[in-house]
A and B are shown apart, each in its own frame.
Chain A
Amino acid sequence: MIDVRLFATLPMRSTSGRKEFALEPRPGLTVGEIVDAEGLRRTDVHIVMINGKHGSLDSELDDGDRLGLFPPVGGG
């Protein structure tokens, strides 16, 4: 399974409102497709983390991956 987590404003903007869910893997599945499926605009997502490393909307996901999606955030 793929572990998907949406942070900050993203769950509120998505159609399902889910913060965290598991997704059945399939060959060639990209981050962008998950963003689309959640009803988010691709431009809403600024940071993509796959297993703690930066990815992109085009990155493909494998079984067991942990995906984190963030809007633009800052702090310090």
Chain B
Amino acid sequence: MRRILRVDVAAGTTAFEDLPAEWTLRGGRSLTSTIVSNEVDAAVDPLGPDNKIVFAPGLLSGTTAPNSGRLSVGTKSPLTGGIKEANSGGQAAMRLARLGVAAIIVEGDPGDKKWVLHLSKDGARLDDGAPYWGTGNYECAAALRAAYGEKVATIQVGPAGEMGYKNSSVAVTDPEGNPARHAGRGGTGAVMGARGLKAIVADDAGTERPEAVDKERFAVARKTLVDGLKSHPVTSQGLTNYGTAILVNIINEAGGLPTHNFTSGRFDGAEAISGETVHQNCEDRGGKREHACMTGCVIHCSNVYNDKDGNYVSSGVEYETIWALGANCDNADIESIAQMDRLCDDLGLDTIEMGDTFGVAMEGGVLPWGDAARMIELFEDIRQGTELGRKLANGCVHAGAEFGVTRVPAVKGQGIPAYDPRAVKGIGVTYATSTMGADHTSGYAVATNILKVGGDVDPLASEGQCPLSNGLQQATVLFDSAGLCVFLAFAALDQPDSLAAIPELISAQYGVPFGLDQIGPYGETLLSIERDFNRRAGFTEKDDRLPAFFSTERLPPHDVIWDIPDSELDQVCGWSPVLEM
């Protein structure tokens, strides 16, 4: 029986509610976005007392479905001012699912109180969070384990979220207990911090897996999907051997690696920060070149990065981070990138937004290009909350205003990730039209544009990109709602059986009809709810645009501009009637 846990941080109380029957197929993103849309006035101040933050495991989390432990975090975003769902790997979602929790809604004005929410088979309660307040994510995770048991999974906010920075993440612990997985984007950490909630501790001792209504069908579909993942070359070899960092070289070759704050698509230092280099360093220094961010992952795209002396630095030095703090800032020093990844994880900062911010700050002359030592120093300013630190910790749009820089790579207030939209136009459509602001994960057209998975659409042509992005955005809603790692899509896009297995798993788990033909409508319904929220928050079609400089400045080496017509974007954006859920 899935239930909703409502947490009132003003009164210090918790109460379980039944999940409404009509929400049986709502989970992860589709549940957080539905709840945020229903319960949060779109006009509220995201950091004020009326905003809520919602945590939801996916529909398949806690089951034996592969890679199914994504946790969705939903709220009104302090960074974009629109609806937000950021999701993360780690152990927490499966623990919550085993505890029968479909969603946790955190609301109320905590005043000066600080809380830790504890969940176990015996129920939920709020404990005093004051002893943990002010600690970095690593120290906090260790202290929570010491207090609540080695096996608990935790969901935490770091100092950035406590201080209300608009660039702040929600951290989730991985199988080793490291707070290295993050619902990074959109400033969810600041909303959690504003609720006075330092952490959620999930202890699933004595619980069972959520059982499928139709166990046989579930087992068959699960096997189909696992076999598909183990046979597709990307999910069985590419991602497993090299992780996401392998993209550095290919996106660089394709001329789409944003360099020097989006002025070039090629970075001279690419090899030094490439997946091949990371792979070698992980191997040579006693780290791990294969690591699973959650139990039940069959792909293992993560890694464990050690320093030259063999000491743990960070877990999952990933492509986006390497790009953000590397190429975008003209920094070819991989050790400094790993160190900054650790600092971001500890403070609870999104690495993508941080890299965009540093790029803008470098363009504004705040620090020299490529000065990794200075970048590292500035994290201390952010931790201390100095004037400069605050200018750097509220996202790239804020930094642009502070430093007088107009070339700011952002959509709806959120920094653009690691693919230049001029050279990878499909992902540009996703950046422009996503309900989340510039977000590559919400419709990963890079797969089809560059990686030749799920078809082949020329990245430099404008034709075909809108339908591509639209279809991917719809399908991604299902992945985000099922709690599935979106990397399953690399297999599912090429293998019809693997794709069909996903709705089949959901259908078998819940004993309701759900098939392939419902993926599109399911996604569209949810996107309509998110767009409706954004409209009520004041967004118009003008917010579904890339910054003007992409249409005027040519990007080397292909000398291309952003040229997808606004009218085509507006068809994707669905400035159309809202559907009923």
Contacts from A to B (Cβ < 8 Å): 5, 7-9, 46-47, 49, 51-54, 68, 70-76
Contacts and interface: CB of A to CB of B under 8 A. Distances in A.
Nearest to A53: B460
Contact of A72 (B234, B255, B441, B444): B234
Given A49-B254, A52-B254, A76 B441 contact: yes
B242 interface: yes
Contacts of B243: 75
Interface of B: 232-235, 237-239, 241-247, 249-250, 253-255, 265-266, 275-276, 301, 318-320, 440-441, 444, 446-447, 450-453, 456, 458-460, 486-487, 490, 557-558
B534 to A, nearest CB: 24
Q: Is the interface of A mostly helix, strand, loop or mixed?
A: loop
A36 to B, nearest CB: 20
A46 B319 CA distance: 20
A74 B253 contact: no
Contact of A49 (B253, B444, B456): B253
A43 B451 CA distance: 15
B388 to A, nearest CB: 32
A71 B447 CA distance: 14
Contact of B238 (A51, A54, A73): A73
B301 A75 contact: yes
Given A75-B247, A76-B440, A54 B452 contact: yes
8 contacts: A46-B452, A53-B460, A71-B237, A73-B242, A73-B250, A74-B451, A74-B490, A75-B247
Given A52-B255, A76-B486, A8 B239 contact: no
Nearest to B417: A76
Nearest to B441: A76
Contacts of A52: 253-255, 265-266, 557-558
B234 A76 contact: no
Contacts of A46: 233, 452
A26 to B, nearest CB: 23
A70 B446 CA distance: 15
Nearest to A51: B557
A9 B460 CA distance: 27
Contacts of B319: 75-76
Contacts of B490: 74
A46 B576 CA distance: 40
Contacts of A72: 232-234, 237-238, 451, 453
A51 B557 CA distance: 9
Contact of A73 (B441, B451, B557): B451
Nearest to A72: B233
Given A68-B249, A70-B249, A76-B444, 16 more contacts: A7-B253, A8-B275, A47-B250, A52-B557, A54-B458, A72-B451, A74-B239, A74-B246, A74-B447, A74-B451, A74-B487, A75-B243, A75-B246, A75-B275, A75-B301, A76-B319
